[in-house]
Amino acid sequence: MSIIPPNMVRVPMGLSARLSLNNITGTNLEMLRLQEQLSSGRAINRPSDDIVKAVTIGVLDDRMERSQQLTRNYSHATAALGTLEAVLREASDLTREARGIASDQINLTASPAERVGQAGVVAQMLRGLFTIANREGVAGYVLGGSTTSQQPVEEFLGFYRFRSEGPGLTTDLDQASSVPITFGQSPVAGLSKRVRGSVSLGPSLAGDTRLADLRGVRGLGIATDELEMQFGTLPRVRVSLSNTDTVQDVVDRLTASIRELEASESVTVLGPGGVSFGPAGLRIDVAPPATPADPAPTLTFFDIGDGSTGRDLGLVQSPATAFTSTNTDGLALAPRLTMRSRIDGLTAVTDPLGQIRLENAGRVAIVDLAGSETIEDIKNRIESAGLGLRVSINSEGTGIDVLNDVSAGSAASLSIGEIAGNNSTATMLGIRTFAGATRVSDLNFGRGVQVVHNVPDPITGVPTASLNTDIRIALGDATGTTIDIDLAPTDLSTVDNMLGVINAQIQAGLASAGLAPGSLVARLADDGNGLLLDRSGAPAGAFTQPLRIEARNNSSAAEQLGLLFGTWNDTTQSLQGQDRARVRVDSLFSDLVDLREGLLNNSVQAIGLAGGTLDDTGNLLAESRGLVGSYQQRVSAADTREADRNLLDETTRSQLRDLDFTTAATRLTALQTQLQATLQSTAAVQQLSLLDYL
């Protein structure tokens, strides 16, 4: 019987088998993982393979996915901007060609027949521009603004109407920020000219006035939260104005809270007027003292913490002021004008509305606003006249604006005037295009009125009146009385200011000639638009001839004010000037229409003016092309940066995730050898029995 050496350790067969099986299983699992890595090409296939690397790879995957979307955005933006630049380039080329025609045809040697022939060329340019303006790109109509599915320019009453709405679409370019890919208004088509309301209509507070339509005392709107009130020395009580929507809701909530206080404390808080509202703000009528000797009851409101509800509603004032029987009015809440505002609640509308005259695109429409109950009624009636006009509330929420979308040139541009006997409705609403508040610099499509001023005597070198007069008015009396009008640049602020200067000089001239005061008055026409020289106030028989207007010292003031070619009315004894405050849409369409009409009418002056506006439009187009070019450069640079960043991310991800095939193959071979050795040794060991140890 052999003796087992003392250094030998006996291992149970079950334990030996389990250890061997674990070794074989581990090797198999490692080989399986390597086989999976070799087949997928990735070293990390699941988070458990390496949690740190897996998290980093996840971040890189998200960033690269966004990078792919940005790259698609860059490609989309590049295509859209390319189409937009092509539109502007073709419009610029067309503008240069039209300017060349104007430059050639303004020459006095050009014949009427030649100009008519060139008018046909300009008409074809208009057709080409119509096609250019309605060009579609990858984002829709490139001049379609925010409504890219709608054709931006349409033919309308023989002219061209711009139908785009909104500033245009933008695309997300990350580092390049948002870049516009469509234009709304542009020098090509649009720039809808706005007749800005010159009157603050002053809407009054009403029960259905929404709190969202109030500026509030601080001009920051109305916060609807909790506030506290205190009657006399009683404890404060909280009042919740949450979920209130209208002024009437606030009135009802305050009334209910005060009535509850009266019931719980057995006091009388409200007087007969209760809680109500006036034209400007809230009113709270507090009950008077029981006897004249008693102190006047007070109702005071407080904001809670950082709340502002009381201040916004004019209930909390600084310095603190309590409501009493004699102090009932809160501060003004400044309601904004909305389409729901009632006409009878407008402080500026002091007389019933009547008719107004609209002229646009060569058409005239008489619009009757009588019976309009809300601003929306006015809007609907003006827009339904079919002249291509839109009505909106101005950005300040104080008045209404009228937008003209029709590019019809100068002669057929927009005019909004009065009709005699209708309470000056257009002026009252602030939408008359030739009103007292109209700036003289806006006349003649923004060219204003030029006067001679400070012209010195060639001998003395001192300015003299005779060399600085602009207009001579021949009164038409038997003695041939004339009155000279001398206008200075400082007189040309507004039409009212200019009329004041003209009338002062007229009255001085009448007095000097010994004629009755008021025999001649300059004012705005009662019917239509234009300046009016009214001689109807003169004594009977004082004048036998019509008024005559002459330009003095080569001044263009008489012509630019519309008086030089005014119309004499013998019945009313007045000379009505031309309307020089018409509103023209500034666009290339309007410029080409003006050039075409000037050529057809053989008018050198009109051709020259059209050439000047084409120069201005050409400059605007160049600026727009430069802007689009800068956008293209930004997109290109951002695309390059994004490609570089994406390459770096992909390289980093590859280093973390991708498999080293050489190392993996070598490792797999080693594991195969290890597995084979393990199987062989295990097989040999498992064949032994207890007798082999004895």
State pLDDT tens for residues 122-164.
Answer: 999 999 999 999 999 888 888 888 888 889 999 999 999 998 8
Distances (CA, A) of 63 to 58, 187, 650: 9, 40, 10
Question: Quick check: 4 pLDDT over 60?
Answer: no
Residues 141 and 164 in one domain: yes
Whether 499 and 528 map to the same domain: the answer is yes
The confidence score (pLDDT) of residue 216 equals 92
Is residue 82 predicted with pLDDT exceeding 80?
yes
Last residue of a domain, one of 312, 334, 361: 312
Whether residues 34 and 115 share a domain: the answer is no
Q: What is the mean pLDDT of residues 444-472?
A: 89
pLDDT at 5 over 60: no
Q: Which domain holds residue 545?
A: 465-576
Using DSSP, state whether 575 is helix, strand or coil: strand
More confidently predicted of 188 and 691: 188
**Extended beta strands in 444-590, E state:** 471-474, 482-485, 521-524, 531-534, 548-551, 567-569, 574-576
Mean pLDDT of the chain: 87
Q: How confident is the model at residue 693 (pLDDT cuts 50, 70, 90)?
A: low
pLDDT of residue 181: 82
Show Cβ contacts of residue 57 under 8 Å, excluding neighbours closer than 6 positions.
Answer: 44, 653, 656, 657
Together in a domain, 69 and 177: yes
- Per-residue confidence (pLDDT) for residue 252, from 0 to 100: 95
CA 344 to chain CA centroid, Å, is 29
Do both 174 and 68 map to the same domain? yes
Q: Are 596 and 121 in contact (CB under 8 A)?
A: no
Average pLDDT over residues 164-171: 81
How far is residue 33's CA from residue 46's CA, in Å, rounded to a whole number? 11
Mark whether 678 and 565 lie in a shared domain. no
596 lies in some domain: no
Vertex 482: Cα angle to 477 and 485 (nearest 5)? 140
- Domain shared by 348 and 289, yes or no: no
**Does residue 439 lie in a domain region?**
no
For residues 504 and 93, give the distance between their C-alpha atoms in angstroms, rounded to a whole number.
51
For residue 174, the model assigns a pLDDT of: 67
What percentage of residues in the chain have a pLDDT greater than 70? 94
Mean pLDDT of the 318-322 span? 84
CA separation for the pair 322, 451 (Å, rounded): 59
Residue 340 near residue 372, CB atoms below 8 Å: no
Residue with more model confidence, 129 or 68: 129
Task: Indicate if 72 and 167 belong to the same structural domain.
Answer: yes
Quote the pLDDT of residue 8: 45
pLDDT beyond 80 at 445: yes
Residue 581 lies in a domain: no
For the cut 60, the answer to whether the pLDDT of residue 433 exceeds it is: yes
Residue 165: how many other CB atoms lie within 10 Å = 13
On whether residue 143 sits in a domain, the answer given is yes
In-domain check, residue 460: no
Amino acid at 239: V
pLDDT of residue 648: 86
Q: How many domains does the chain have?
A: 5
Examine residue 319 and say whether the peptide bond preceding it is cis (omega within 30 degrees of 0).
yes
In a domain, 591, yes or no: no
Q: Is residue 638 part of a domain?
A: no
Together in a domain, 501 and 525: yes
626 and 654 in a single domain? The answer is: no
Answer with the residue of higher pLDDT: 680 or 542.
Answer: 542
Question: Which residues have a Cβ under 8 Å from the Cβ of 332 and sit 6 or more positions away?
Answer: 217, 280, 281, 314
**For range 277-289, the mean pLDDT:** 92
**607 in the same domain as 559:** no
Mean pLDDT across 297-313: 92
pLDDT tens digits for range 565-590: 999 999 999 999 999 999 999 899 99
DSSP 466: G
Place 2 in a pLDDT band, splitting at 50, 70 and 90.
very low
Last residue of a domain, one of 293, 312, 331: 312
Exposure class string for 346-375: b at 16+ Cβ within 10 A, else e: beebeeebbbbbbbbbebeeebebeebebb
pTM for this structure? Answer: 0.80
The Cβ-side half-sphere exposure at 260, using a 13 Å CA radius, reads 12
Regarding whether 484 and 510 lie in a shared domain, the answer is yes
Q: Classify residue 588: in a domain, yes or no.
A: no
Q: What is the mean pLDDT of residues 26-47?
A: 75
Owner of token pair 């120069």:
615
Condensed to tens digits (0 to 9), the pLDDT of residues 179-237 reads 888 888 788 877 666 688 888 898 989 899 999 999 999 999 999 999 999 999 999 99
Integer angstrom CA distances of residue 607 from 93, 130, 593, 598, 615? 19, 22, 11, 5, 12
Over the stretch 602-614, which tens digit does the pLDDT of each residue have? Answer: 999 899 999 999 9
CB atoms within 10 A of CB 670: 13
